[in-house]
Structure formats: C-alpha cells, structure tokens
Chain A
Amino acid sequence: MASDIKELTFSQELVSFIEEWKGKPGNLIMILHKVHEEFSYIPRDVAKKISEMLEVPLAKIYGVITFYHYFKLTKPGKFNIQVCMGTACYLKGGEDIIQELENILGIGINQVTDDGKFSIEAVRCVGCCGLAPVAVVNGKVFGSLTKDKLSEVLAEYENK
C-alpha cells in the first residue's frame, strides 16, 4: 500500500505547526484542522501518529473527529462536491441537485467514484444564500445551480 505510506509523511509545515501548538490548551482542534487541510481527511494512522506526538489518547481524538461533521474518516474524491442543504438552498431545490449528481456519477452521498475523482457531500449552510442553490467544489463556489448546469460544472474537472 504505497499510497498509505505516503499519507503518513507529514509536511514540514504541519510538523512545525504541531510542534508550535504542542502543550498549549485547546490545541487538538487546531491541529486536527491543519491535518485535515493536508490530507483532506484524517486517516487512522495519522490519528495514531498525532496521538503519539501530542500524548493525547487515540480514544479522545476519535471522540473529537466523530463529533464534528467537518472531519472525515474516509478519503473523499479528488474533487469533493459539497452541496449546500441550508434552508435557502434546500427550498431552492438542493435535494434535486444531489439526486441529479447521484444519477450522473452513480454514487450516493459520502461515496467516491471508482476512479477516485468525485465524491458527493451534503453540507450545512455555506453562507451565500443569495446564490442558492449552491455547491462548492474544492473551495470554488457554483451558484444558482440547476440540474442542467451540473454537467458543465463536472466538465470543468473531468480532465484535471
């Protein structure tokens, strides 16, 4: 499992971040955010390594990463499509958007396409209700979505 070994390598930036925050109160959430940024999820081995580095029990780390929706335990697709299910987006048809994505990609919520390229996630309000319904792909916002516009959105990432 070459990819797993690669996953365990922390960037220099991450290591110095952990060193800087080690021992400070409330550091666990900060560090887990940084880890999540680097790996896009929290692999078990990484959680274990963090546990050893911070001398925080693995049980506690799992308590935190399962409590907050933000943290993922499994690897998302290369392009993670977050469909907003906040009130405005929901009323404007957010659910239809998810359904259409499921049809096109052949996967359900929190699943990844076989080629590892796309995953779908339903998220809470992303804070741009004026553009409802909204989806966010790796940080880029797509607003006023309709079912028809989705193939266009996906096309942008097909060959990346």
Chain B
Amino acid sequence: MSLVELKINGEVVKVEKGTTILNAAKEINVNIPTLCHHADLEPWAACGMCIVKLENSSKTVRACATPVEEGMSIITHDPELHGVRKTVLELILSTHPNECLTCGRNQHCELQTIACEFGVREQPYEKRLRDLPIDKSTPSIVLEPEKCISCGRCVLVCQGLQNVWALEFLFRGENTRIAPAGDDVLNDSPCIKCGQCSAHCPVGAIYEKDETRKLLDAIQDKNLHVTVQVAPSVRVAIGEAFGLEPGTVVTGKLYAALRRLGIDAVFDTNFGADLTIMEEGTEFVQRLTEGAGVLPQITSCCPAWTDYMEKYYPDMIPNFSTAKSPMMMQGAMTKTYYAEKMGFEARQIYSAAIMPCTAKKYEITRDENMYSSGVQDVDVVLTTRELARLIKSSGIDFLNLPDEPADSPIGAYSGAGTIFGNTGGVMEAALRTAYNLVTGTELKDVEIHQVRGLDGIKEGVIDIDGTKVKVAVAHGMANVGAVLDKVRMAAEKGEDPPYHFIEVMACRGGCIAGGGQPYFTTDEVRQKRMEGIYKDDKMSEVRCSYQNPEIQILYKDFLGSPMSSKSHKLLHTTYTPRPLHRL
C-alpha cells in the first residue's frame, strides 16, 4: 500500500494511492457536494457539482472521478466554486419539475437538500419540461422520467450491480431520458422489481408504489380482521426514520406502533422464516441423503431472485427449493391455521406485510400458488419507507412507545428466523436445522461465520456428521452468474455439482439493504444493520427453527410434518420460465 501526500485547502493529507479527491477530502471532514456520486457505484461524473480547483492552475477537475496525485494542492470551496456550483444546480433545476410537495421523495431528495443549502430562490433559466409519461406498469415501482436528472445511478445499478438490464439511457443531449429496455413499459422489460434503482435514485424519478391507503381502508372496514407481519430486516432499519442509528433493534416498538394503527393481530415474518427452514431444510436433507431431487438446492425466498431466475436461468428451475418465501408462508398460515383457530373464514381476514422490499409487492400475486387459502394469502405489502410515513402521519410517537410482544400462535421466532435478513442468513439458518435433521443432535456452535459478511460470493464447507456440505452464498444479482455458471459447467462435463446448497439474495447485503429500506444505504449502513440482526439472533432464547415452540405446535396441531401433503398444498410453489421482454 503506497501513500500519496497532497494538500486540500492548505491542509496536508496522506491517503492511499488511487483514492479520489472526493474521498480524500472526506478524510479531513471536508464535504464536496455531489448529486450523481454514490459509494456503491463507479464514478460516472455526470452532474458537475463536485468540481474542484487545482491550485496554481486554471484547471478544474471532478473530485468524484479524479484520483489524487503526489504533491497536488486542491481547493474544494471558495466563492468562485460556490458560484459555479450554484449555476450547475440552477441548470439542473431548469429541467426539473417544481413538484416537491407532492413528490415521492419530498424531504429525502438529494437535489432538494442541495437547493436548500445553496439558498436557490430564483430560477434564472427558462424552464424546459418534457411532459414524459409516468410508468406505473409494475406492481412495485413507479418510474417518472420527467424528474430524472440523468445522474446515471439507476442505470449503473440495474446493469452493473444487478446485471438485469431493465433500464438504459435513450437518445442524447437534451433529449436524453431513462427508459426501460426497448422503450417499453417497465413491466414488459427484464425488470425484477428489486427496487435498487429507487433506493439509489437521488430524486423522485423512481420510487416505491405507495399502498398505505389500502391498509388504512382495511383497518377502517369493521368486517375485516386485520393482521400484519413484519420482515426480519425492518426491525433494524425503520429506527433510522426516527433518528436512530442504523442497526438499532426496535422490534417491540414496531409491534406497538402497528397495534396503535388499529391492526388486530401483529405477527412476525420471522415465524414464517422458521417455517421456511423446516420445509426447505427438510427438502434439502431429502435431496442430500435420499436423492430426492437435484443438487445443488437453491434458495427461493427472494422474489426478485426467483423472477431473475425464471427470466435468465430457467434451466435451473429443478434446482429451486419449492418452499415459498417466509412472507407467503406466513400469509398462508394466517388465513388457514390462524383463521381456523379463531373461527374466521379466510375472506374475513386482511393480511398485510411490512417488507424491506419492493419485489414483495409483485410476489403476492405472482401466480395461483399465492392463493393457497382460497383467497389472496397476503393482501398488501408496505415497504419500510411507507410504514415509517404511516406511523408519522398517524401521530404515533415511535421512540416513546413501550416494547410489546407479538401475538400468538404465529408470532414467536428463533434467532435463525431473524438472520434471514442478512446475506448468508438463510443458509446459516437452514444448516442449523439440517444438522439436527441429519444427526438428531444439536449443533454446538450455531454461528456459521463462513457465510457472513459483505463479500459478493462466499463459499464454505460444513461438516454434517461426516458429510462435507459445500455451500455458496451470492448477493447483489450480478454476483449470481459466476456461481451458476460453475454449476452449469459441471453439469455439462458430467461432474459432481460444485455445491450442494446455494443461497441467493438480489440486493447487496441481503434484505437489510432491500429496495424498500430507508434511503442513503451504503456499506457502512449495511454493516450496522447486519450487526443489529446478529445481535437479535444472539439475544434470542431459541436459535434454531426446529426449537421454536409455536412451530412445534403448528406441526403437531395442523400441518403434520414438514413436506407433508398439507405442507405441499399451502407452503410450496412452482416456477415457470418467463420471457425477458414482451413478445
């Protein structure tokens, strides 16, 4: 590691070679304004806000895309640069609608914040809007190209981080606009609804479809018994909307807030996650020890991933676990098992889900398996961001709520259920239970560190009673290709599969950094949320799914055993190849 010495605003700084001026300035707490830069992405140098001066030179350079050089002397802020940046801002604003009050990003918009900081009061340039249509074709996200500032983040995310290629810039110059592939509507493109574009967009050009009204209407309807479930990663992120540090575990307050909204029964998707492990773990053990089905088994909890697989890897369908996602299992149990216990008809129950994810909005109606109770198993999905708004607009003082428990009989969870929120978590949870299924004994150390962390692909070997189980974990959709290509290649050569079990999550870091989570997620934030999840696991009395007492009762009283015919009807699904584009 070689260091480069330079001056920033007269102060000597030593940073690693290759560091950009932008990041070098951060080291000495100097913030250079940016609009297109994002820590997850390679610099694109589109907006021009970050220009800085080289001392004793007439040259200005873009701080986001320029690496430091030995002996450089940089000026990041002076009255002239302030003026230039304000002009850049005014030019961007000249093609941006002034609709802040009704915008999906109101108060969370990076352009709005910078315009506020620069005190823009007038618009010196002629307003040139293009009247581009709003795209509401997917159940998950809304595309409003009129508000796009051509920063390039969504395109880099969709093509680079996710390898989905649903979005692209069309045309050039002042006519440039973001558009789905083939200039179709988003739902006819390869879009997997992961929502990473919406999480990275600095403005209101892409945002989650707001469905808070649906839940409010259900609460208002006296004929409906309203239930809710909360996904693992919501509890370590929603606190951010109320000023808490990322990773703060607020499960009890979250349950309390949902009750204050008027919801009748508060459940936890972590229970559904434990149930998923019972089914998927058993399925894996059957494939591994009895040859019932092909290996590697691939996880299917992430709806963006299943959508991607159905479009890009339909040949892998037999490898997919047939287990539904925890959310869909929880929905099915709510409208069958819970309904039966309470004496309700399935149609009398309205089941809502709070998710870190925009693709979950798509999943609830993806095919007929999502109606296993006879009606729609999950009626509405709200993202973490939507719920935070709803709590605020309902006058609930979130931070001062008491911690409350979830409701029985489908609310208790094990530590294995909660770690589903992290990349590697499903794998770790499944192995904890698989170990017991194979050996009949308890795993001594339940923490499997090989599958944790932010490396895009993680591989490991876990010894289960002498059997070396080879696993791989991929997150960030673009990382899955390398893993699956290895599987394909081995199959073509007639070799044994390189892995027995593969976990895939579409978003970098897993659900804790899903497309519906609070804005401004970087690796630092991911790390903190992941630590919060592992803390929740550590604090749990029970850390393996098969030990969850409510799970044990559910099988005893209702389902029979994992992979039973009742389980198959309610908790398993099928997959089908889907076209990348409309025909």
Footprint of B on A, CB under 8 Å?
Answer: 44, 47-48, 57-60, 62-63, 66-67, 73
Q: Which residues of B contact A48 (CB under 8 A)?
A: 182, 581
Within the complex, which residue of B169, B171, B172, B581 is in contact with A58, where a contact is CB–CB below 8 Å?
Answer: B581
B182 touches A59 (CB 8 A): yes
Report Cα–Cα, A50/B170, bound state, in Å: 18
Within the complex, which residue of A47, A63, A73 is in contact with B169, where a contact is CB–CB below 8 Å?
Answer: A63
Closest chain-A Cβ to B152's Cβ sits at a distance in Å of: 12
Report Cα–Cα, A48/B184, bound state, in Å: 12
Report Cα–Cα, A57/B171, bound state, in Å: 17
Extra 6 A-B pairs, beta carbons < 8 Å, given A58-B581, A62-B170, A66-B170: A48-B581, A59-B165, A59-B168, A62-B179, A63-B170, A66-B171
CB within 8 Å for A47 and B182 given contacts A59-B166, A59-B189, A60-B165: yes
Closest chain-B Cβ to A55's Cβ sits at a distance in Å of: 11
Residue in A44, A57, A60 whose Cβ sees the most chain B Cβ within 10 Å: A57
Report Cα–Cα, A66/B168, bound state, in Å: 11
Footprint of A on B, CB under 8 Å?
Answer: 159, 165-172, 179-183, 189-190, 580-581
B167 touches A59 (CB 8 A): yes
Report Cα–Cα, A57/B166, bound state, in Å: 9
Closest chain-B Cβ to A117's Cβ sits at a distance in Å of: 27
Q: 6 closest A-B pairs (Cβ-Cβ)?
A: A57-B165, A59-B181, A59-B168, A66-B170, A58-B181, A63-B168
Q: Which residues of B contact A58 (CB under 8 A)?
A: 165, 181-182, 580-581
Question: Nearest chain-A residue to B177 (Cβ)?
Answer: A66
A44 touches B171 (CB 8 A): no
Report Cα–Cα, A42/B260, bound state, in Å: 57
Q: Which residues of A contact B171 (CB under 8 A)?
A: 66-67
CB within 8 Å for A67 and B172 given contacts A59-B182, A59-B189: yes
Report Cα–Cα, A44/B582, bound state, in Å: 11
Residue in B159, B168, B189, B580 whose Cβ sees the most chain A Cβ within 10 Å: B168
Q: Which residues of A contact B166 (CB under 8 A)?
A: 59
Q: Which residues of A contact B165 (CB under 8 A)?
A: 57-60
- A-B contact count, CB below 8 Å? 41
Closest chain-A Cβ to B159's Cβ sits at a distance in Å of: 7
Q: Which residues of B contact A47 (CB under 8 A)?
A: 182
Report Cα–Cα, A153/B171, bound state, in Å: 33
Q: Which residues of B contact A66 (CB under 8 A)?
A: 170-172, 183
A62 touches B183 (CB 8 A): yes
B172 touches A62 (CB 8 A): no
Report Cα–Cα, A58/B181, bound state, in Å: 6
Q: Which residues of B contact A62 (CB under 8 A)?
A: 168, 170, 179, 181-183
Q: Which residues of B contact A57 (CB under 8 A)?
A: 159, 165, 181, 190
Closest chain-B Cβ to A54's Cβ sits at a distance in Å of: 13
Report Cα–Cα, A67/B183, bound state, in Å: 13
Closest chain-B Cβ to A66's Cβ sits at a distance in Å of: 4
Question: Nearest chain-B residue to A65 (Cβ)?
Answer: B170
Report Cα–Cα, A79/B545, bound state, in Å: 71
Closest chain-B Cβ to A12's Cβ sits at a distance in Å of: 26
Q: Which residues of A contact B168 (CB under 8 A)?
A: 59-60, 62-63
Report Cα–Cα, A58/B183, bound state, in Å: 10
Residue in A48, A59, A62, A63 whose Cβ sees the most chain B Cβ within 10 Å: A59
Report Cα–Cα, A59/B580, bound state, in Å: 11
Q: Which residues of B contact A63 (CB under 8 A)?
A: 168-170
Q: Which residues of B contact A67 (CB under 8 A)?
A: 171-172
Closest chain-A Cβ to B145's Cβ sits at a distance in Å of: 13
Q: Which residues of A contact B580 (CB under 8 A)?
A: 58
Question: Nearest chain-A residue to B180 (Cβ)?
Answer: A59
Report Cα–Cα, A58/B164, bound state, in Å: 11
Q: Which residues of A contact B181 (CB under 8 A)?
A: 57-59, 62
Q: Which residues of A contact B180 (CB under 8 A)?
A: 59
Question: Nearest chain-B residue to A44 (Cβ)?
Answer: B182
Closest chain-A Cβ to B580's Cβ sits at a distance in Å of: 7
Q: Which residues of A contact B190 (CB under 8 A)?
A: 57, 59
Closest chain-A Cβ to B313's Cβ sits at a distance in Å of: 14
Q: Which residues of B contact A59 (CB under 8 A)?
A: 159, 165-168, 180-182, 189-190
Q: Which residues of A contact B581 (CB under 8 A)?
A: 48, 58
Q: Which residues of A contact B167 (CB under 8 A)?
A: 59
Question: Nearest chain-A residue to B170 (Cβ)?
Answer: A66
Closest chain-B Cβ to A64's Cβ sits at a distance in Å of: 9
Q: Which residues of A contact B170 (CB under 8 A)?
A: 62-63, 66
